[in-house]
Amino acid sequence: MKIAIIGSGTMGSGIAQVAATAGCSVKLYDTNQAALDKSKTALAKVMNRLVEKGKIEETEKSRIENTISYVSSLKDLSDADLTIEAIIENAEIKQKVFAELESYQSDEAIIASNTSSLSIASLASSLKKPERFIGIHFFNPAPLMPLVEIIPAIQTSEEVKNKVIQTIADWKKIGVLAKDTPGFIVNRVARPFYGEALRIYEEGIADFATIDWAMEEMGGFRMGPFKLMDFIGNDINYTVTETVFTAFYFDPRYRPAFTQKRFAEAGYLGRKSGRGYYNYAENATNPEPNRDQKLGKEIFERILVMLINEAADALFLNIASAKDIDLAMTKGVNYPKGLLAWANEMSIDWCVEKMDALYEKYREDRYRCSPLLRKMRKESQIF
C-alpha cells in the first residue's frame, strides 16, 4: 500500500515510521526542508536505538529507512492510496491542502486528517469527493501508543471506513470508532481528570502534590493530573480544554480553570519551561503530599466518578461503543482500568449516589448525573 504523510513534525514522522514498519511504502511531505531533514535524522536515531536494543535487525532498519522518501512537492503524492495529514491545527490551511491534493490524486485515493480537535465533516467539505475523507487520530508518540481513533464524517463512505479500519489493524494498532464530535473519545472523556483536579485545588481542598498522590496511590494512575499537565504542557492542555468547552457550546462540564490559564500566561508551562505546578530546576524541592487516607479517598473518588460519568455519557450519546470507550482510555492514555469496567466495580448505585451528592452540594449543571447511569441503576444493569 502506498502511503503519503503531509507534515513531518512530531506526529507525521511517527505515523510515517508506523506505516513503514508495517511494510507500506511511504512518502513524507513538508513545506519546510528543515523539518524533513530533522525527521530523517530523528528516524535514524530511533532505528539505531532499536537495533542496539536488539528489537530489530540491521536489515530491517535499512528496509524501514529506505522505504520512506522525503518529498517537497504536494504533486509527488499523486499515487498514494492513503494520505494522512498532520500539519498545523488550522482548518483553513488544512482545507486548502486537501483541495489541492485531491486535484492530483485518483478518485479512489483516501484522504485523512490526524486532527485532534477540528470537525471531520468540515474538513471533508473542502473536497469534491468528501466521501473519500476520514479522521485517523494517532496518539503521541505514534510508534509507541497502540490506540488510533477512527472518525468517519457524515460524508464518509462505508467502503472508505472499512478500508481504514483494516489498514489500522494491519499496522498492528488498536482502532476504535468514534463519532465526529469534539474531542472524539479520549480528549472528551479525559477532561475531568484535569478539570476536577483543578477544581478541587481551587476550592482549597488539597494542593497539587496531594491530589497527584491520591490519584497515583489510590487510583493507580501512572501520573497524577498536575504531573501530567506539566508533562503535556499547560499551554497545550489549556487550549484543548478551551477548544472542547467552546465546541460543546459552553457546557459547564468542560469549563476551563483560571488556575491553568494563569499558569500558562505566566509561562509556567511545565517540564518544557522548567516550571509548572512543580519546579523542575536541579536541586529544587517540591512540597510533600498530605498522605491523609480519608482526604486521599475523597479526592480520588470525586475525580473517578466524574470520569465515569463522562464515559457513561459518551456511551449514552453513541459517541462510541462501551468496548471502544474502555479501550480508548486504557490504550490511548494508559488509564489503569477502563472507566465503564471501573463503574461496574464500584457499582452503578455508588456512581449515581456520588454524582447526586456532588450535585446536591454544588447545584451546578457540571455535576449532573448521566441519564444512562440512572437508567441502569433503575433496571439493575451493569456495563
Is 31 among the residues that bind ligand NAD (CB under 6 A)?
A: yes
Nearer to ligand NAD, 140 or 347 (CB): 140
Return the exposure string of 157-189: e unless at least 16 CB atoms fall within 10 Å of the residue's CB, then b. beebbebbbebbeebebbbbbbebbbbbbbbbb
Q: Which of 97, 209, 320, 372 binds ligand NAD (CB under 6 A)?
A: 97
149 is catalytic: yes
> How many helices (DSSP H) and strands (DSSP E) are in the chain?
17, 8
Is 42 among the residues that bind ligand NAD (CB under 6 A)?
A: no
Is 239 among the residues that bind ligand NAD (CB under 6 A)?
A: no
Nearer to ligand NAD, 153 or 376 (CB): 153
Residue from 360, 348, 356 nearest 315 by CA = 348
187 is catalytic: yes
- Residue 310 grid coordinates: 463522562
Rounded to the nearest whole angstrom, what is the least distance from the CB of residue 149 to ligand NAD in the complex?
9
How many binding residues for ligand NAD (CB under 6 A)?
A: 22
Q: Which of 3, 4, 5, 11 binds ligand NAD (CB under 6 A)?
A: 11
Nearer to ligand NAD, 60 or 89 (CB): 89
Asked if 344 and 373 touch (Cβ cutoff 8 Å), the reply is no
By CB atoms closer than 10 A (0-12, 13-18, 19+), residue 34 is: exposed
Is 30 among the residues that bind ligand NAD (CB under 6 A)?
A: yes
Residue from 8, 39, 116, 117 carrying the catalytic annotation = 116
Asked if 188 and 316 touch (Cβ cutoff 8 Å), the reply is no
Q: Which of residues 53-92 bind ligand NAD (CB under 6 A)?
A: 86-89
Angle, alpha carbons 334-143-154 (nearest 5°) = 80
137 is catalytic: yes
Contact footprint for ligand NAD (CB under 6 A): 6-12, 30-32, 35, 86-89, 93, 97, 114-116, 138, 140
